[in-house]
Structure 1
């Protein structure tokens, strides 16, 4: 059976929710392998919308096993709140339907506090655009080997010493900022509130996944955000705090890379970005406003307005290589309906030199001038199309040109938020 990794190929917000839901119906196990509750997506099933930010998409489908892997940083209060919201919508999440890696690191209120303090204290040009949900500080503790992990909730007697070690680091920082220090009792009380509800979901996820793989189950690995926000390969420092590329699916779940059979990159037919950082094709004029309004470009979790611009083939080609993408799911093609002409970025100019990739240096990124190729738009509608024959000829030419420029085929084409409005070229789960 095929195992599939889904990653965003831009800066996130590519429309992964619909595609992941479409794939999760075919999967037996759905694994979230990185990130926290700072990103999310909306699933629409039988006319009901489910907004998820931490739980894997499979959790809303009966008979599927949802897994939160060790690569995720877990806010236990956010987890419980999301489980309770789903219960109000008639979806019961139980330890039979959800398992959480025992070695996943926890997000504490301390992390959220530090996240906000640092972001708010930064000069305007130095702000990262973090959602202030504690994601970054939690990953820092994980790498610093002082994190409180899910398994620690089940080993309550070991917690005081671990909390003391954690606070030696953070209280020194808070003191330096002139802020009130945190006591061990505050952290213990915070964890006491959640441990009885979180511990039943705790499991040795790597062993569970290997067992399910050997049994022939189809496994879907679901990432958050997009490859251009990767801590190593993204537009640093305006990135998230984890690896968002496909290789993280193995590291963040404990299942070896040889178990991955197909990587699907979700790619919007134009480009958007939330928060600070370089954006070579950004258009803050008429075109950008048109794309934002037509595409309803507001974050699922944060509600923040997204910056918009033309499709950047150079960026997507780069993420295709870095993530080993086998095919893309091209989304929101219908947003471009009615435009007389459409531009595609095919490369950049930097100080008189032509580049085919995004340079790593932040200063160089700000000096890039996009090189555009202009294509004719189409007067007809692509909205709701379910076959190539229903697409205007110019829309087909646009899709084919994207394939050539990014050096990857289109496996799926989405023409509306409705899951049935999908043109399937290749099922990634096909054996």
Structure 2
């Protein structure tokens, strides 16, 4: 089993890379997160964002799995699949998608509770997508939630209604304007009926059987390492494990069966929501990168915060995940800049330098290395030997600093605008 992960704060271009390589796999599997993250893919001049569906859904003959470690919002999934069919009517997810019976459900009131906590001054404001992901995971840990496998139980509807009524009593104590309970219940159960069209099974058995038969599986991570619930910049993190180890837990596959670990990183950094961001750019240069790179949340539309490439954080992410290959994206966005900066170290308050760090101390000063920028449109370049010399120097510097080979370079948003730099 190979794994694809984001090495920064998400939005690195994982969907594009998975779409590119997934035809070489028999199965693609999502192992964490829910509809709080979006993987954007461009095909035939059109763009679509996948939220819960694995990015291999476009490949004929590839089986797609929503794994046990995810949380599934039936309402969101129904909308996503209907949108997918409008985008490409040849795709038949009913025949190529299976869902873990053990994946937990996101209930309608989880979204409402998420909004309540984000807007209430008694709670820490995280800057969530307000999709109820943390509430679903927290109820999973509290053993108060329902799973996909429960939808066939005769008392499922009663259990859902009991939870919704309980949550409404809690929410009624605040000043929040609530939709009618009948309205959200009706939409939810309609989505549950839609969900019953898809195979629901013990996906860990399916995946391990496939591996024993010599089939290739690609595990797809949501979010990114610096948002990991344990190893990210807590409390401004997601609610699941985003690392390679999280892939094993979320899919029920032994670490012994992991092969390549592809880590995706941008040539600069972005972040959505609150939290530490030492290399953030506040001037017009940051806005230029945001506009040129279309740095707005694929799920929420929120403008992303922009920063220079952060090597201490990137080294940390590579260390935590055991990344074997780095895929660098968005280098084309920096084309035309007179110079680009890279943070090589943090200078701490005591005067020491931190070369690798996952805590991103707020008072640390990023030590920036200025490098000469590159000119020209690199999207049409066919071979790595034809890249601008300044970009070659940038890549060589990163290879030396990270100690892991950069094997692919994305040169534009299109599916085919990516170069294979060297083979392992």
TM-score (norm 2): 0.92
Identify the residue that residue 196 of structure 1 maps to in structure 2.
Answer: 193
Identify the residue that residue 219 of structure 1 maps to in structure 2.
Answer: 217
- Alpha-carbon separation, structure 2, partners of 1:5 and 1:301: 23
Identify the residue that residue 129 of structure 1 maps to in structure 2.
Answer: 127
Question: Is contact 2:109–2:168 with CA below 8 Å preserved after alignment?
Answer: no
Question: How far did 1:336 drift?
Answer: 1.4
Question: Is contact 2:29–2:66 with CA below 8 Å preserved after alignment?
Answer: yes
Given candidates 390, 403, 410, the residue that maps to 1:414 is 410
Superposed, which structure 2 residues align to 1:321-360 within 5 Å?
321-351=319-349, 352-358=351-357, 360=359
Question: How far did 1:105 drift?
Answer: 0.3
Question: How far did 1:342 drift?
Answer: 1.6
Identify the residue that residue 35 of structure 2 maps to in structure 1.
Answer: 37
- Alpha-carbon separation, structure 2, partners of 1:95 and 1:302: 27
Question: Is contact 1:167–1:182 with CA below 8 Å preserved after alignment?
Answer: no
Question: How far did 1:48 drift?
Answer: 3.6
Question: How far did 1:164 drift?
Answer: 4.2
* Alpha-carbon spacing, 1:140–1:183, altered in 2? closer, same or farther (3 Å): farther
Identify the residue that residue 387 of structure 1 maps to in structure 2.
Answer: 383
Identify the residue that residue 99 of structure 2 maps to in structure 1.
Answer: 100
- Alpha-carbon separation, structure 1, partners of 2:414 and 2:86: 23
Question: How far did 1:378 drift?
Answer: 2.2
Gaps of 5+ in 1: none
Gaps of 5+ in 2: none
Secondary structure in structure 1 of the residue aligned to 2:237: coil
* Alpha-carbon spacing, 1:194–1:377, altered in 2? closer, same or farther (3 Å): closer
Question: How far did 1:368 drift?
Answer: 1.6
Superposed, which structure 2 residues align to 1:153-164 within 5 Å?
153-157=151-155, 160=158, 164=162
Superposed, which structure 2 residues align to 1:155-174 within 5 Å?
155-157=153-155, 160=158, 164=162, 170=167, 173-174=170-171
Superposed, which structure 2 residues align to 1:15-414 within 5 Å?
15-89=13-87, 90-122=89-121, 126-157=124-155, 160=158, 164=162, 170=167, 173-174=170-171, 177=174, 191-201=188-198, 202-351=200-349, 352-358=351-357, 360=359, 365-414=361-410
Q: How many residues align?
A: 421
Question: How far did 1:425 drift?
Answer: 3.4
Question: How far did 1:94 drift?
Answer: 3.8
CA RMSD of aligned residues (A): 2.4
Question: Is contact 1:73–1:106 with CA below 8 Å preserved after alignment?
Answer: yes
- Alpha-carbon separation, structure 1, partners of 2:45 and 2:376: 27
| 4+ residue segments displaced more than 6 Å | 178-188
TM-score (norm 1): 0.91
Q: Deviations over 1:287-346 (max 9, x none)?
A: 211211221111111111111111111110000000110010001111111222221101
Q: Deviations over 1:207-248 (max 9, x none)?
A: 111122122221111111111111111111111111111211
Secondary structure in structure 1 of the residue aligned to 2:412: coil
Secondary structure in structure 2 of the residue aligned to 1:207: helix
Question: Is contact 1:30–1:65 with CA below 8 Å preserved after alignment?
Answer: yes
Question: Is contact 2:268–2:310 with CA below 8 Å preserved after alignment?
Answer: yes
* Alpha-carbon spacing, 1:48–1:162, altered in 2? closer, same or farther (3 Å): closer
